[in-house]
Structure 1
Amino acid sequence: MTNTTLNTGQPQYRCPLCKESLLMTDKTYRCVNNHCFDQAKQGYVNLLPVQFKHSKTPGDNKDMVNARRAFLDKGFYQPLVNAMTTLYQQYAPVSAVVFDAGCGEGFYTHQHKSDTNQVYGVDISKETVKIAAKKYHECFFSVATLSDLPFHDEQFSWITSVYAPILEQEFSRILKNQGYLLTVTPGAEHLLALKSLIYQNAKEHDETKQVIKDMTLLKEEHLTYEMNFNDTNDVLNLLAMTPFAFKASKEVIEQLTQLNTFTCQADFILRLYQK
């Protein structure tokens, strides 16, 4: 599949520098003020100007990306995918324009693609976007910051945010009136068994924290299940894709490597909001 065969027209971006519309000609996005952004060979576009970066290579590094991709491809989070797509099918309009905030390597992004909609994914990490665009040609991917998204006001009817920063003001700006925002955040016991190996007093996640103030909460679902591992590589990949990987000692890594089996809880909270 290619971007031109399974989408309803050219992707709609706005210039991150002057906020005017970007039009693509000969694989270059250009605005009326002649700001230009080339489409990479993998199919994505980098809309994160160097002056907007806070570091040389912001976002997840290549090792974290590869670990997450290997873990997700094993299907351990498939129940989460099923819950997300069920809500999408129940609530989203047929020809929805979908945005995945903090899309990573596109695992959740492409699950929302149909023959009648447009699906966009944005991440600040070029490494992740490169992988996403190379694998999922039917979606539009770009490198950008969530705090200043390269989209026009009220462009989307469905936004997903899975473990990404939730910036209500910016999300609300690009969301149509009556549009939906689906957030996925960790439940109290998410990966608690793994955290307990790393921290002496591993704390449960705070489920009460909600950052959405001005949208209507339509639905809240709690999804929890056990993940049983028989391959230490899967456990190490799970660790590598979490923020507390940086706290894991060599002893903990060695302990995980020696395990024949390991059981860990997946615990998610899905909240569906409407603007």
Structure 2
Amino acid sequence: MSYRCPLCHAPLTRHENSYLCPQRHQFDRAKEGYVNLLPVQHKRSRDPGDSAEMMQARRAFLDAGYYQPLRDRLVEKLRTLAPTALLDIGCGEGYYTHAFADCAQETWGLDVAKAAIRPAAKRYPQVNFCVASSQRLPFTAQSMDAIVRIYAPCNPQELERVVKPGGWVITVTPGPRHLVELKGLIYDRIHLHELSTGQLAGFVLRQHEALSYNMVLSGTEAVALLQMTPFAWRAKPQVWETLQTQQEFHCQTDFSIHCWQRDS
């Protein structure tokens, strides 16, 4: 497996601490061990992706173990598939990725946020981390046996291009009642998540399951959870204050897991 150049799409070859393509485009490995494959012309902002503050909140919450049942379920599925090459799209700080690495011979983690990839690469050297766009995956065609996508957006045509025939894509999306108690503090009217019913071009849906359970959080943990959600910006100051003072905050998870197999 090799990276491909994000500028000309030719394969990249590693030379010491750099990756080069035949057109002499060069991408250096950072001291933490990751490579930045997100050219400035592909950025939508100066520092795309989640901020360092959001990543710190996410790491604190995930390290507390509240989403470990989801991680364990995904690891169970991956052990059955036994992929040689595995990619985690939107890997963030690597909480899931490093566990996936025990299921594959070689594992890659991709995220658009350098603030996430830098500490991930330092913490989990067994994973190949890169800063890159999920809309333009920097990998050669048919190079991955499995791709995991937890909430992260992605170009479905890129999934079809990168996954080997017979390979797999595992997606995780919010179920209808995911974090409904948290949303109830923010919105006057709660809209439940709609179940994903769309098709993935080039793939066949082989399995779908729901995973849900209740969490009992401290006020600090509830604040960290809110901070890592996409609706945090809608929360008024009193919501943050109310959460912070909670002795216990009960909140349910509701994950929807789909397993797609590439047409062979």
Give the TM-score normalised by structure 1.
0.92
Equivalent of 2:211 in 223, 233, 245: 223
Q: SS in structure 2 opposite 1:172?
A: helix
Is 1:197 the equivalent of 2:197? no
Equivalent of 1:50 in 40, 43, 49: 40
For the 8 Å contact 2:136–2:158, the answer to whether it is kept is yes
Aligned residue runs from structure 1 range 118-137, under 5 A: 118-137=106-125
Aligned residue runs from structure 1 range 144-183, under 5 A: 144-183=132-171
Misfit runs of 4+, over 6 Å: none
Q: In 2, Cα distance between the equivalents of 1:54 and 1:208?
A: 27
Q: Which amino acid aligns with 1:28?
A: S
Shift of 1:211: 5.0
Counterpart position of 2:257: 270
Q: SS in structure 1 opposite 2:12?
A: strand
Q: 1:211 to 1:55 in 2, by over 3 A?
A: farther
**Identity, % of aligned pairs?**
42
Shift of 1:143: 0.6
Equivalent of 1:61 in 44, 51, 65: 51
Counterpart position of 1:254: 241
For the 8 Å contact 1:168–1:211, the answer to whether it is kept is no
Q: Which amino acid aligns with 1:254?
A: E
Shift of 1:210: 2.6
Mean alpha-carbon deviation: is it higher for 99-108 or for 20-29? 20-29
Q: SS in structure 1 opposite 2:78?
A: helix
Q: SS in structure 2 opposite 1:13?
A: coil
Q: In 1, Cα distance between the equivalents of 2:43 and 2:252?
A: 36
Q: SS in structure 1 opposite 2:231?
A: helix
Q: 1:270 to 1:42 in 2, by over 3 A?
A: same
Counterpart position of 1:185: 173
For the 8 Å contact 1:13–1:151, the answer to whether it is kept is yes
Is 1:139 the equivalent of 2:124? no
Counterpart position of 1:97: 85
Q: In 2, Cα distance between the equivalents of 1:71 and 1:242?
A: 11
Render the CA deviation track for 1:188-209: whole Å, top value 9, x for unaligned. 0000000000000011100144
Counterpart position of 1:22: 12
Aligned residue runs from structure 1 range 106-125, under 5 A: 106-114=94-102, 117-125=105-113
For the 8 Å contact 2:82–2:104, the answer to whether it is kept is no
Give the TM-score normalised by structure 2.
0.96
Q: Which amino acid aligns with 2:13?
A: L
Q: 1:191 to 1:218 in 2, by over 3 A?
A: same
For the 8 Å contact 2:32–2:121, the answer to whether it is kept is yes
Shift of 1:214: 3.3
Q: In 2, Cα distance between the equivalents of 1:199 and 1:17?
A: 43
Render the CA deviation track for 1:63-113: whole Å, top value 9, x for unaligned. 0000000000000001001110111111234xx100001111111111111
Mean alpha-carbon deviation: is it higher for 24-33 or for 205-214? 205-214
Cα-Cα RMSD: 1.3
Q: Which amino acid aligns with 1:46?
A: N
What are structure 1's unaligned runs of at least 5 residues?
A: 1-10
Counterpart position of 1:83: 73
Q: In 2, Cα distance between the equivalents of 1:233 and 1:106?
A: 22
For the 8 Å contact 1:92–1:158, the answer to whether it is kept is no
Q: In 2, Cα distance between the equivalents of 1:105 and 1:153?
A: 26
Q: In 1, Cα distance between the equivalents of 2:25 and 2:115?
A: 23
Q: 1:60 to 1:116 in 2, by over 3 A?
A: closer
Shift of 1:139: 0.5
Q: In 1, Cα distance between the equivalents of 2:103 and 2:215?
A: 33
What are structure 2's unaligned runs of at least 5 residues?
A: none
Q: 1:243 to 1:16 in 2, by over 3 A?
A: same
Mean alpha-carbon deviation: is it higher for 239-248 or for 204-213? 204-213
Q: In 2, Cα distance between the equivalents of 1:33 and 1:254?
A: 55
